[in-house]
Chains A and B, each alone.
Chain A
Amino acid sequence: MTTTVDTPGGASTGRRVQAGLLLQRQGALIALVILVVFGVLRYGSDFATGYNVSSFTGDTAKYGLVALGMTFVIMTGGIDLSVGSVAFLGGVVAIKVSEHGLLPGLLVGIGAGAAVGALNGFLVTKARLQPFIVTLATLLAVRGLALQIAGARASVAAPGGFQKLSTWSVLGLPVAAWAMLLAFLVGAAVVHYTPWGRQVLAIGGNVDAAKLMGLPVRRTTFSVYVVSGALAGCAGVFLGSQNGSVDTAAGLGWELTAIAAVVVGGTLLTGGVGSVMSTLVGVLLLQLIFNLIVFENGRGDISISSYWESVIRGAFLLVVVLLQVRLVRRRGTGGRPA
């Protein structure tokens, strides 16, 4: 299922634009399908079934949740660099209450994430500071806060209920994977069918026009950061629950993984255009590259150093970005940032 979300007023855009947008959105999906087919053909049932699918989707869930929140923020034309630190914080505070089980952990982790998101949103909307620099500052500060709470060492969860996410599975997929899928379906529905979703895109498209139309620009922008923080906090709880611990390097660089996934999915960083489901495709695609490298190494013919992973990931991002530039240029809105 793919959700298509055009710019507000998309009805007036031409057919070529539609075709361009379609390619831009579906390019990642096509690549994903090709890679999956490649994996199945080359590595057989080891790749396509059982343990690999469940560990892959369970592992990807965390990045998926973070990238989902990032999609909303980027749709408004903003950015949230703090998500990695927020996930770290969410995991640490959830582990603090882990003896009470998973649900309290989830609530506390999501609450802590939402609180940081509210701070980001406040600084962006009320103090009118730039999202990039606000969330850069919270990236630093929240990591410090989480380290302080964790006593600057790895936090280990209490045994028992809290760690259920690593074992629970439904229909062969871990609960974390279902949670991610559900979150994306809800996210897509919200963007597609609710006024809030329209407002998010309208703000990213043209914030002045959105204001003149009487849209609650500040409130919506604020809420987008809260959602991003809450999802990042949730991702941190998943991390803690799956691993049974959160080390001090947890969440480092997640913000960039999330941004890359959003961009690969075809959401423009300028805001106003975006698709929630394409972000899911972007996340799966970027993670699948790692998975394939692991399998390729497993065959034993060649050995690809783990250092290649980041190089391949960067090269992949490069290709996607260049393709997008071509499409955006063809759309006639100009490839150059104003």
Chain B
Amino acid sequence: MTRAGGSSRSDVPEATTTPSDTGGPVSEPVAAAADGTSGVRRGGAWNRVQWTSWAQRYGAAAAFAALFAYNAANTPFFLTQQSLVFVLLRQAAPIAIVAVGMAIVIGTGGIDLSVGSVMAIAGQVGATLVLHDKPFLLAIVAALLVAALCGLFNGTLVARFGVQPIIATLILFIAGRGIAQLITGGELQPLANPDFQWIGLARPLGVPAQIYIAFVVALGAWLVMKLTVYGRHVLAVGGNETASRLAGVPAGRVKLLAYVVSATLAGLVGLIAVSANSASDANNVGVGMELDAIAAVAVAGTPLSGGKVNIWGAVVGALLLKLLQNTLISHGITKEVAQIIEGAVIVGALWLQRPEA
């Protein structure tokens, strides 16, 4: 089910729409009409279009709620502050932040494989500056700027040169980790700077700072997608780039900015990871993050073909995958088997949300 580019119903709907209700929320007739087949919609009964639409919007949230309820009933110590805040939310926050940037890039019809490497670069830059007695704010700003530059590189390749996003970001995926390792010759850098490490270690009101950061990032991205022209442009470019160009959308700049945002958020998470570990390890920071973030976005029903952005969906996707992992492991299932189940869940989620033929 492809939505018309520029359609305002991009992410979590503002009104609570009950898909089974006969009156029909605004988006359903649009979807049915786009399908081109008459008689798809039968009053009252749930048909495929309605089901797909529902699954794409709430599927991940419903799965999360179900898994949460299961854990609440069956997992000892699950409903404790330690387990919920310090394990689940704290572990999901970095993935969620990266997934928010990834969701925007995917919305433009692209993909960003370089996020893990950018995390490593930003972490190394920040840690190196702090270790050389530079002010912590300078270190943070410099790290984020370097990350943004990485995004500018990706975005330039995609938007200016028309390189396919997989390949364009593959370049920095490969080279970026080498660059990060070269900054210190692959040595691990231990850190002990409370100011710099605030984002990874601080606990305002007893809650780790990265949870606040993830929430603020998601809220900000959601507002941007919802309220600004840029948000509409992303959907338009991802939905139909040629049409959006003809309509006067600066498609190149829209895509460029998406990659810059994604890389900057990856850089932020790199700083969080380095701070939380109290060490910068270019060999391991961010390894596999691109897969986690893409999976989080995909599980929430966002098609990788672009034209849709679901910010909260990406956050819920990150929470869902983390909760699934933790649930399996806390029930004595090995990490390896958990990985198999995770793969199956991703496929299953996509199958349930698959578009009409």
Contact = CB atoms under 8 A, between A and B. Distances in A.
Interface of A: 79, 123, 127-130, 132-134, 136-145, 147-148, 152, 256, 259-260, 263, 269-270, 305, 307-311, 313-315, 317-318, 321-322, 325, 328-329, 334-338
B185 A307 contact: yes
A38 to B, nearest CB: 22
A308 B347 contact: no
Contacts of A139: 291, 343
Contacts of A328: 162
B178 A335 contact: no
A148 B178 contact: no
B4 interface: no
In the A-B complex, list the 5 residue pairs whose CB atoms are closest, starting with the nearest.
A314-B175, A141-B343, A144-B339, A310-B178, A335-B162
A242 B174 CA distance: 26
7 contacts: A132-B166, A137-B344, A140-B346, A148-B337, A311-B175, A314-B172, A337-B109
Given A129-B354, A269-B167, A336-B241, A134 B161 contact: no
B182 interface: yes
A338 B294 contact: no
B60 to A, nearest CB: 14
A251 to B, nearest CB: 14
A128 B303 CA distance: 12
Contact of B174 (A147, A313, A325): A313
Q: Which of B157, B178, B291, B344 lies at the interface centre, i.e. has the most chain A CB atoms within 10 A of its CB?
A: B178
Given A148-B336, A321-B163, A134 B173 contact: no
Contact of B178 (A132, A134, A145, A314): A314
Contacts of A147: 335-336, 339
B295 interface: yes
B304 A144 contact: no
A321 B162 contact: no
Interface string B148-172: 0000000001000111111110111
For the side of the interface on B, what is the size category?
Answer: 35 or more
Nearest to B252: A336
A321 B171 contact: yes
Given A313-B174, A317-B170, A132 B304 contact: yes
Contacts of A335: 161-162
Interface of B: 109, 111, 113, 157, 161-168, 170-179, 181-182, 185-186, 241-242, 291, 294-295, 298, 303-305, 334-344, 346-347, 350-351, 354-355, 357
Contact of A310 (B174, B295, B347): B174
Contacts of B340: 140-141, 144-145, 148
A63 to B, nearest CB: 14
Given A128-B354, A137-B343, A335-B161, A269 B334 contact: no
Given A133-B298, A140-B342, 11 more contacts: A128-B354, A137-B295, A140-B339, A144-B338, A145-B336, A260-B174, A314-B176, A321-B157, A322-B163, A336-B241, A337-B241
Dominant SS among interface residues on chain B: helix
Nearest to B153: A318
Nearest to B357: A128
Contacts of A315: 175
A192 B259 CA distance: 39
A325 B159 CA distance: 12
A296 B161 CA distance: 34
Nearest to B356: A128
A130 B353 CA distance: 12
A46 B162 CA distance: 42
Nearest to A319: B171
A132 B306 CA distance: 13
A136 B294 contact: yes
A147 B161 CA distance: 41
A186 to B, nearest CB: 27
A11 B336 CA distance: 52
A148 B298 CA distance: 26
Contacts of A269: 164, 166-167
B298 A127 contact: no
A140 B351 CA distance: 17
Contact of B344 (A141, A314, A336): A141
Contact of A338 (B170, B242, B339, B357): B242
Contacts of B294: 133, 136
Q: Which of B168, B177, B241, B343 lies at the interface centre, i.e. has the most chain A CB atoms within 10 A of its CB?
A: B343
A328 B343 CA distance: 36
B351 A325 contact: no
B241 A325 contact: no
Contacts of B185: 305, 307
Nearest to A151: B336
A310 B121 CA distance: 14
A318 B174 CA distance: 11
A307 B181 contact: yes
Given A307-B181, A314-B174, A270 B337 contact: no
A137 B336 contact: no
A140 B298 CA distance: 14
A309 B304 CA distance: 31
Contact of B336 (A144, A256, A336): A144
B291 A136 contact: yes
Contacts of A318: 157, 171, 175
A27 to B, nearest CB: 16
A305 B357 CA distance: 51
Given A127-B354, A260-B170, A133 B346 contact: yes
A154 to B, nearest CB: 14
Contacts of B354: 127-129
A130 B161 contact: no
A54 to B, nearest CB: 27
A133 B304 contact: yes
Nearest to A325: B161
Q: Which of B163, B185, B335 lies at the interface centre, i.e. has the most chain A CB atoms within 10 A of its CB?
A: B163
A47 to B, nearest CB: 24
A143 B166 contact: no
Nearest to B161: A325
A123 B163 contact: no
A269 B163 CA distance: 10
